[in-house]
Structure 1
Amino acid sequence: MRDIRGKKRTAALGSASVLAAATLIAGAVAAPTASASAGHGQDREARGAAIAAARAAKAGIDWKDCPADWGLEKPIQCGWVSVPLDYANPYGKQIQLAVDRIGNTGTPQERQGALVYNPGGPGGSGLKFPRRVVTKNAIWANVAKAYDFVGFDPRGVGHSAPISCVDPQEFVKAPKADPVPDSEADKLAQRKLAREYAEGCYERSGEMLPYMTTPNTVRDLDVIRAALGEKQLNYLGVSYGTYIGAVYGTLFPGHLRRMVVDSVVNPSREKIWYQANLDQDVAFEGRWKDWEDWVAKNDATFHLGTTRDAVQAKWLELRATAKKSPIGGVVGPAELISFFQSAPYYDSSWVPVATVFSKYFAGDTQALVDAAAPDMSDIAGNISSENGNAVYTAVECADAKWPTSWRKWDRDNTRLNKDYPFMTWANAWMNLPCATWRTKQQTPVNVKTGKGLPQVMIVQSTNDAATPYDGAVELHKRFAGSRLITEKDAGSHGVTGLANPCINSRVDAYLLTGKLDAADVTCGPHATPKP
């Protein structure tokens, strides 16, 4: 799935990627024996989270100027929060989480605390969030008056004990194998790559893998809340960040003050994560067609055909050319999917992707190579596509039990590919390492309303490809008193960052006053991109 992060990246698997509420305990608590049952294990983790939060509240965060190579300019400040690797053993190994902040822009009297952000993934870094204040992002100007903007790298991500599954140079190598198989031999080759990737994760990051779960990231989030000196959390989660929010609201309902979740992962245990990825394939096809309709409507600009079918024919022609001989030696079908999928993800990509597509058929192949070839500089430092992909895989594989039968994977994806070919096989190979995962896979949290849960704002577009609309409806049912703001006839992933007064004004009102509409609201779409 992946974004359930942000833009997905080319996978190492030879395919395009697709992608206990607890009272604070001040003193020491004796840990139960290792033979505790699963229920006792959850109790231990809840107690461990309370211990870690109490410790963090006492320690606070030592804020300093951010390291020069983090790309976070003053007055943004950075710091570290210490959390247990394993919450069942809170006095055992600790890992350091990178956090950053920028103070509220209003008066001290206007300040309402910290607003903590997660952009999705799994594998996305939230450290760029305070830059919305530095760059004077108009959509967030009112909220910035009241809140410090706080971002963080979740466990395993970026600067927070980063994990890895393959050599980063190998990860960015291109071209990769065509994700759409022509034969059983092609499928066998992809299965081998997926198994090798899973083994690579275990070899390179085995100590971290059992603890790379959404509930642990949620516990980390509560420790960050405590370290910030906040009694209750204000939270904005987008994409996979909504699942973090859903699990936080379930495990720590009384620790939550306000929460906005935008572009919602379906929190049903039956969907996490195998079925969610199959659902995503269907939704991607629908949004891909929306984009093709728009390209056809703007044929005067792009010259790719006046109907969806004509534009699709051009896509298939480009794909066949790249399969026969990679464009520029590096852009094959896998790289094409990685680049073109940003159009069904984000409306902001509609014009750039169509422009490159158009240029190719006008004879400019270099524009396509420049846009779609892997970034060979993306092998240095901690924030890399390899790291993001490793975290994505580790979290989704650990969060739930995955099918181990290849027959099931083959049957489900072969069936879907007939009608929804754009992303199906690429997504399958992206997730197949979970079929041979070496460490324990848990049962997903049963997301539900607990004592003290405030009213939550849910924002969702009807045609979202990465997180289909049903996910928002499901979370709305599970969180009593929540309000669903629907952006009708729109499909960009991540709604709250777009200019749509019907939505922007409601997000402002909720975060600034706690006010929600008396009933759910349907808004019209934001402006369609213009070429």
Structure 2
Amino acid sequence: MRAGAKLGLLAGLGSLVVTTLAVPPALGADAPTGPVDESGAVDEFQGTAIAARRAAGAGITFGVCPEAEALPASVSCGTVEVPLDYGRPDGRKISLTVSRVRASGPAEEYQGAFVYNPGGPGASSMYFPMVTGLPEWKRIARAYDLVGYAPRGVGRSAPLSCQDPGDLPQGPTPAPVHPSPSFKLERIAEAKAYAEGCARRGGTALRHYTSLNNARDLDVLRAALGEERLTFMGASYGTYFGALYATLFPSHVRRMVFDAPVNPSRDKIWYRSNLDQSLAFESRWADFRAWVARHHAVYGLGATPEAVSRSYEVARARLAEKPAGGKVGPGQLQAAFLGAGYYDDYWVPRATALSEYLRGNDKPLIAQAAPRPKEAPSVENASAVYTAIECNDAPWPADFAVWDRDNTELAREAPFETWDNVWMNLPCAYWSGPRQQPLEVRTKRGALPPVLILAAERDAATPYEGAEELARRLKGAVLITEEDAGTHGIGGGPNACVNTHLENYLLRGETPVRRASCAPRPEPDPVAPGSRARQPELSRPAV
């Protein structure tokens, strides 16, 4: 399941001077202690309590960030040690990298550390403290230390790898909407080889990269930061292990924001979530085509959504015959335009690139869609973590015939993303090692402080039904809906109504009595092909 999320308006990030954290307090009330057997094995909940107690004593020593993090001097970095296996807290340890900018306001406004995770699985929030300079975050940054981190497996946090980054395709790739039997056999072989590569490179440690361990790591990070209770915002996949955290450690929660929530139902994790997601992307692809059609005078791609589809298919056919710059084939085209399903910010540059390509100028499309060799190591790492966590988290169909049946039927209704989603997740059919049964996400009324859920009504990466399901399961949760909008991740973005609810909650603990709605943000303004005005920085969405 592709479930990445980004913060709104990442351009123009600011920074502040950083100092050190206060002395950490003791563990929360529901953290047990008890005997360890002769082999060092304990219950994983107990193992988390042991690790958190040690982290509280050690704290985090923040200093200059390593050059590899590419962060400004205003951001400080450190590490926190966590067990690889929480059932053996005295066994092998791994270090998670952490970043921080101290609160900018006076002492009387200070509310502690605010931890953010952007999703993935496989995404890092080491960049997060840089939002301190954005207008949408300034008041929150006055009250909180902004804390980012790289979860286990990501970046320099005990990094996972399943293949040599140099083996990633740097040339054009196919992307048939309705793949042939021979193409399916090729992708099955690739999925098997990838799963074998994960097992070979990850070894016995591979099975410990799970959502449950991400939740446990979060509690150790809380303790290391000196926080008795956690203030946390998770986006996309970050909402899933955030929900696991709320279920496991409700008394450790101070405030939690779930932005673009994953459906936490056990039967959705993760195979059926992908089916739901592929269906939702079809609607979002229709939203984009309808917008392009309304601006036919600018882009010349068709005055109806159907005409825009025909323009897109013409481009696919041309790229299959002659890849743009020898690098961009139908697969790269599909990956680039998937970004338009995630974020409205991509609508203008993608429409411009398609229009320019069909007019004979392929440079914008190459700039947006061509493989980037320098990014290959981080792309490979993110893919490895994504695959390991989703494959370890839950059982998957082991017979390709099940995948073939379900997705062939779905692709008749939702061809845009269905088969690409299959190929991304197919290694889970051939995964070695034990699979977990997903935890039942649920809290009793009164066990958890009020939490805030943010969701766009037409989000494709995490369909809106997931937000409603999470609100039902976390008693006392309040859902804020951006109506008739589909950008994936809405907190801290351009919608002032959403941001008002976010600030009221984080700064004062205030929520609406039940739920609330916000009008959608304005649609992007079209830009004539060739214009440089209003073009966002071009980048790919996180997986």
Quick one: which of 155, 158, 161 aligns to 2:155? Answer: 158
Query: Does 53-62 or 313-322 show the bigger shift?
Result: 313-322
CA distance in 2, matches of 1:82, 1:358: 50
Quick one: which of 407, 410, 416 aligns to 1:416? Answer: 410
Equivalent residue for 1:351? Answer: 348
Cα contact 1:179–1:429 (8 A) shared by 2: no
AA in 1 matched with 2:401: R
CA distance in 2, matches of 1:361, 1:324: 14
Offset at residue 180 of structure 1 (A): 3.6
The TM-score with structure 2 as length reference comes to: 0.90
Equivalent residue for 2:44? Answer: 45
CA distance in 2, matches of 1:143, 1:25: 33
Equivalent residue for 2:489? Answer: 494
Deviations 1:44-91 (A, max 9, x none): 100100000000000000110111231111221100000000000000
Quick one: which of 421, 424, 431 aligns to 1:427? Answer: 421
Identity of aligned residues (%): 48
**Aligned positions of 1:447-462 closer than 5 A:** 447-450=441-444, 452-462=447-457
Secondary structure of the 1:99 match is strand
Equivalent residue for 1:12? Answer: none
Secondary structure of the 2:108 match is coil
The TM-score with structure 1 as length reference comes to: 0.92
Equivalent residue for 1:185? Answer: 182
Cα contact 2:448–2:476 (8 A) shared by 1: no
Equivalent residue for 1:73? Answer: 72
AA in 2 matched with 1:424: T
Cα contact 1:461–1:491 (8 A) shared by 2: yes
Deviations 1:364-384 (A, max 9, x none): 01221221111011235xxx0
Change (3 A) 1:182 1:519: closer
1:317 partnered with 2:314? yes
Quick one: which of 512, 519, 524 aligns to 2:507? Answer: 512
**Aligned positions of 1:461-480 closer than 5 A:** 461-480=456-475
CA distance in 1, matches of 2:489, 2:366: 28
Cα contact 2:116–2:148 (8 A) shared by 1: yes
Quick one: which of 427, 435, 439 aligns to 2:433? Answer: 439
Deviations 1:280-310 (A, max 9, x none): 0011010010000001111111111111001
**Aligned positions of 1:198-217 closer than 5 A:** 198-217=195-214
Change (3 A) 1:93 1:161: same
Cα contact 2:175–2:334 (8 A) shared by 1: no
CA distance in 2, matches of 1:184, 1:67: 48
Offset at residue 349 of structure 1 (A): 0.7
1:304 partnered with 2:310? no
The count of corresponding residues between Structure 1 and Structure 2 is 506
Cα contact 2:231–2:254 (8 A) shared by 1: yes
Cα contact 1:111–1:147 (8 A) shared by 2: yes
Deviations 1:212-241 (A, max 9, x none): 100101100000000000000000111101
Quick one: which of 272, 276, 281 aligns to 2:273? Answer: 276
Equivalent residue for 1:124? Answer: 123
Offset at residue 169 of structure 1 (A): 1.2
Cα contact 1:63–1:78 (8 A) shared by 2: yes
AA in 2 matched with 1:85: L
Change (3 A) 1:75 1:305: same
Cα contact 1:243–1:267 (8 A) shared by 2: yes
Offset at residue 337 of structure 1 (A): 1.1
Cα contact 2:178–2:411 (8 A) shared by 1: no
1:2 partnered with 2:8? no
CA distance in 2, matches of 1:31, 1:121: 36
CA distance in 2, matches of 1:116, 1:525: 27
AA in 1 matched with 2:260: S
Offset at residue 33 of structure 1 (A): 6.2
Deviations 1:105-162 (A, max 9, x none): 10011100010000000000010100001xx111111111110000000000011010
CA distance in 2, matches of 1:459, 1:152: 22
Cα contact 2:29–2:251 (8 A) shared by 1: no
CA distance in 1, matches of 2:35, 2:82: 16
Offset at residue 22 of structure 1 (A): 7.3
Secondary structure of the 2:141 match is helix
Offset at residue 5 of structure 1 (A): 5.1
AA in 1 matched with 2:394: A
Equivalent residue for 2:95? Answer: 96
CA distance in 2, matches of 1:471, 1:281: 14
Query: Does 443-452 or 265-274 show the bigger shift?
Result: 443-452
Cα contact 2:57–2:224 (8 A) shared by 1: yes
Query: Does 180-189 or 341-350 show the bigger shift?
Result: 180-189
CA distance in 2, matches of 1:290, 1:421: 15
Quick one: which of 250, 254, 257 aligns to 1:257? Answer: 254
Cα contact 1:22–1:46 (8 A) shared by 2: no
Offset at residue 394 of structure 1 (A): 0.5
Equivalent residue for 2:166? Answer: 169
CA distance in 2, matches of 1:250, 1:487: 26
Change (3 A) 1:514 1:189: same
AA in 2 matched with 1:343: A
Cα contact 2:269–2:438 (8 A) shared by 1: yes
Give the RMSD, CA atoms, in angstroms.
Answer: 1.8
CA distance in 2, matches of 1:216, 1:307: 48
Equivalent residue for 1:407? Answer: 401
Cα contact 1:22–1:252 (8 A) shared by 2: no
CA distance in 1, matches of 2:476, 2:364: 50
Cα contact 1:172–1:375 (8 A) shared by 2: no
Quick one: which of 500, 525, 529 aligns to 1:530? Answer: 525
Secondary structure of the 1:100 match is strand
AA in 2 matched with 1:348: D
Change (3 A) 1:180 1:22: farther
1:30 partnered with 2:36? yes
CA distance in 2, matches of 1:182, 1:129: 40
AA in 1 matched with 2:423: W
AA in 2 matched with 1:125: S
Offset at residue 324 of structure 1 (A): 2.6
CA distance in 2, matches of 1:351, 1:67: 36
**Aligned positions of 1:328-407 closer than 5 A:** 328-379=325-376, 384-407=378-401
Deviations 1:434-492 (A, max 9, x none): 00101211001100014631111001011001000000000000011110101111000
Offset at residue 323 of structure 1 (A): 2.0
Cα contact 1:114–1:147 (8 A) shared by 2: yes
Cα contact 1:120–1:241 (8 A) shared by 2: yes
AA in 2 matched with 1:463: R
Cα contact 2:6–2:489 (8 A) shared by 1: no
CA distance in 1, matches of 2:354, 2:4: 26
1:218 partnered with 2:212? no
Cα contact 1:403–1:409 (8 A) shared by 2: yes
CA distance in 2, matches of 1:154, 1:132: 19
Cα contact 1:225–1:231 (8 A) shared by 2: yes
Gaps of 5+ in 2: 8-27, 527-543
Cα contact 1:22–1:47 (8 A) shared by 2: no
CA distance in 2, matches of 1:407, 1:253: 41
Secondary structure of the 1:521 match is strand
AA in 2 matched with 1:31: D
CA distance in 1, matches of 2:420, 2:5: 16
CA distance in 2, matches of 1:486, 1:379: 36
